[in-house]
Amino acid sequence: MKILIIGGGNMGQSFAKSFINNFITDVENFAVLEKDSSKFEALKKIGIKHIYQSPTEKITEADLVVLAVKPQAFAGLATEIKNFISPEQVVLSIMAGVSIAKIEQYLGLDKIIRAMPNIAAQIGEGMSVFTSSDAVTRIELVTVQNLLESTGKNLYVANEDLIDAGTAVSGSGPAYVLYFMEAMMQAGIRLGFTKPQAEMLTYQTFKGIVEFFQNSPDDYRQLIDKIASKGGTTEAAIRFLDENKTNELIQKAVFKAYQRAKELGKF
C-alpha cells in the first residue's frame, strides 16, 4: 500500500514513526508532503525517503492520503492538491474539527476516515477515536484500523459528533494530565524538594496509580475514597478541591475544547 502523509509536523511525524517502526509499509511506498523545509531533517531521521515540498503527480499514486495539517490550513491545502487526487483514494484525516462533509466538499472525494489520535501515538501508546464515510469499504476500514493500531488503542464510533468529543477528552487530554502534573510538581518544589526530586515524585505517583487503577476493581471515586482516609491528609486535599468545584472546572475545560473543535470546523 502506498501512503502519503500531508503535513510533517508533530502528528505527521508521530504517524510516520509508528508506520515505519511497525513495518506498515516499505519506505519506498511512503512519502510526506511538507511545505516547511526546516522539518525535512527530522523527517529524514525518522527514515522517510520521499519528501515533497509542493504537490506533485506522485500524490496521485498514493492509496491512502493522511491529512495531518492544522484545520486552519486545510482550505488552502485542498485547492493545492485537488487536481492531483482521485476518488479511488482513501483519505485519513486527523485534523481537529473538520467534518467528513467538509473534506468531501473541498476535495471532491468520498472515501473519508476521520480519526482523532493523541500525541502518545509517537510511542505506540496513543488513543484514537475514528469513524468513516459510507463510501469506505469494510476492507479499507479494516486496513486503516490496522494502521491506527500501530499508534496505540483505537475506538470506532458510528456517530461523527463523538470525534469532536474524543478530541476534547483524549485528543487534548494529554495536556490536561501534564497540566495537573506540573502543578503537583510545583507544589513539591514550594514544599522544599529540588525540581528533579519533585519531578520524580510526581512522575512515579502518576505512573504507579495508573497501573494500580488498571488492575483495581474500583472506579475512580471508590479508589479516591480508599486513599482518603477519614480525617487524614488526602481527605483534606480532596475536600479543598471539591469545595472549590475543581471537578466541575475540569469538566468545563473539556467542554471548551469540544466547543473549539466545533469552531475549527466552521470555514
Binding residues (CB under 6 A) for ligand NAP: these are: 6-12, 33-36, 39, 68-71, 73, 76-77, 80, 94-96, 116-119, 171
Q: Which is nearer to ligand NAP, 8 or 152 (CB)?
A: 8
Task: Name the minimum Å distance from CB 27 to ligand NAP.
Answer: 20
Give 120 or 201: the residue with its C-beta nearer to ligand NAP: 120
SS3 sequence of the chain = CCEEEECCCHHHHHHHHHHHHCCCCCHHHEEEECCCHHHHHHHHHHCCCEEECCCCHHHHHCCEEEECCCHHHHHHHHHHHHHHCCCCCEEEECCCCCCHHHHHHHHCCCCEEEEECCHHHHHCCEEEEEEECCCCCHHHHHHHHHHHHCCEEEEECCCCHHHHHHHHHHHCHHHHHHHHHHHHHHHHHHCCCCHHHHHHHHHHHHHHHHHHHHCCCCCHHHHHHHHCCCCCHHHHHHHHHHHCCHHHHHHHHHHHHHHHHHHHCCC
Kindly tell me which of 169 and 198 has the beta carbon lying closer to ligand NAP: 169
Q: How far is the CB of 48 from ligand NAP (least distance, A)?
A: 13
User: Nearest-CB residue to ligand NAP?
Assistant: 9
Please say whether the beta carbons of 122 and 14 come within 8 A.
yes
Which residue, 55 or 188, has its beta carbon nearer to ligand NAP? 55
- Judged by beta carbon, residue 58 or residue 201, the one nearer ligand NAP is 58
Distance CA 56, CA 213 (A): 50
User: Cα separation of 133 and 61, whole Å?
Assistant: 22
Residue 216: CB minimum distance to ligand NAP, A: 28
Nearest to 46 by CA among 31, 66, 35: 31
| Shortest distance in whole angstroms from residue 94 CB to ligand NAP | 5
| Spacing of C-alpha 77 from chain mean position | 21
- Cβ nearer to ligand NAP, comparing 89 with 198: 89
Indicate the residue among 73 and 200 with the shorter CB distance to ligand NAP: 73
Nearest to ligand NAP of 119, 250 (CB atom)? 119
Shortest Å distance, C-beta 33 to ligand NAP: 5
Look up residue 182 and give its three cell numbers. Answer: 506540573
State the minimum distance, in angstroms, from the CB of residue 187 to ligand NAP: 26
